[in-house]
Amino acid sequence: MTALAAVAIGVVSLQWVVLLVIAAVAIAGALVVVLHRSPVVGAMGLVTNLLCVAGIYVLLNAYFFAALQVIIYAGAVVVLITFVIMLLNLRPEARGGPGLVPIGLAVLLGLALIVVLGRPLLEFSAPTAEAVAPEFGSVRQVGEALFTEYFYPFLAVSLALLSAMVGAVLLAKRHLED
């Protein structure tokens, strides 16, 4: 009995360790995005962050969503961003930046946000259950919800994507005549 309990405790702490490591790397990646002067290095920080968040989705049993995250975000969005950075051949931003006062204000605002948003989140009190339902995170469950309950939002998003596509082509065209 005690051996079993020890294993159980061991498992719990292992989960915590994994979560903390992934979270630390995710935060580091995010900091690289906002602090590094070179946009390419920033894009790689973004990929690191996105992959870590995908890892957290796996910890949360949301396998389908983790796969989507990697394919769409890391695989397509960031590749597109990197492509544009290379296409424009962007150099690292000049030093100097916005100056100390706005940055100081931003840091203050950020800390305030963490306090304001973080407090209620930590006291999150909706009824939660620990054992995960067997079908949670499966493609079938998400798909069914998407095509029944969330059908109209899904339709609206498709239209938004279509209009964004047309808009992007229009904006990127050099001359509208040809």
Partner 1 sequence: MVGDPGPYLLLATILFVIGAFGVISRRGAITILMSIELMLNSANLALVAVSRFLPAAGQGAGIPDGQVIGFLVLAIAAAEVAVGLAIVIAMFRLRESVDVDLARLLRW
Partner 2 sequence: MDLFLVVATIVKVALVVVVVISAVPVLTWVERRGSAFMQLRLGPNRVGPLGLLQPLADGIKFMFKEDIVPPFVYRPFYVAAPAIAFVAALLAFAVIPFGGTLMIDGREIPLVILDLDVGVLFLLAASGMGVFGIILAGWASNNKYSMLGGLRSSAQMISYELSLGLALVSVLIYAGTLRPTEIVEQQIGGTWNVFPLFVGFVILLVSAFAETNRLPFDLPEAETELVAGYHTEYSSMKFSMFFMAEYINMITGSALVTTLFLGGYALPFQRSVFEGWLGLEGNLLAVLQLASFTLKVGFFMWLYVWVRWTLPRFRFDQLMRLGWKILIPLALVHVVWASLLVMWGVPA
Within 71-110, which residues bind partner 1 (CB under 8 A)? 72-73, 76-77, 80-81, 84-85, 87-88, 90, 93, 97-98, 102-103, 105-107, 109-110
Rounded distance between C-alpha atoms, residue 116 and residue 109, angstroms: 10
Q: Which option in partner 1, partner 2, none does residue 70 bind, with CB closer than 5 to 8 A by kind? A: partner 2
If the CB atoms of residues 16 and 136 are measured against partner 2, the closer one turns out to be: 136
Of residues 3, 126, 175, 178, which one binds partner 1 by CB under 8 A?
Answer: 126
Which residues lie below 8 Å from residue 118, measured CB to CB, with a gap of 6+? none
Shortest separation between residue 84's beta carbon and partner 1, angstroms: 5
If the CB atoms of residues 30 and 85 are measured against partner 2, the closer one turns out to be: 85
Stretch that binds partner 2, among 39-47, 124-132, 150-158, 162-170 (CB under 8 A): 39-47
Rounded distance between C-alpha atoms, residue 88 and residue 63, angstroms: 36
Burial tier of 66 (Cβ tally within 10 Å: 0-12, 13-18, 19+): buried
End-to-end CA distance of the chain: 78
Q: Would you give the distance in Å from CA 107 to the centre of its chain? A: 21
Q: Is 71 in the site for partner 2 (CB under 8 A)?
A: yes
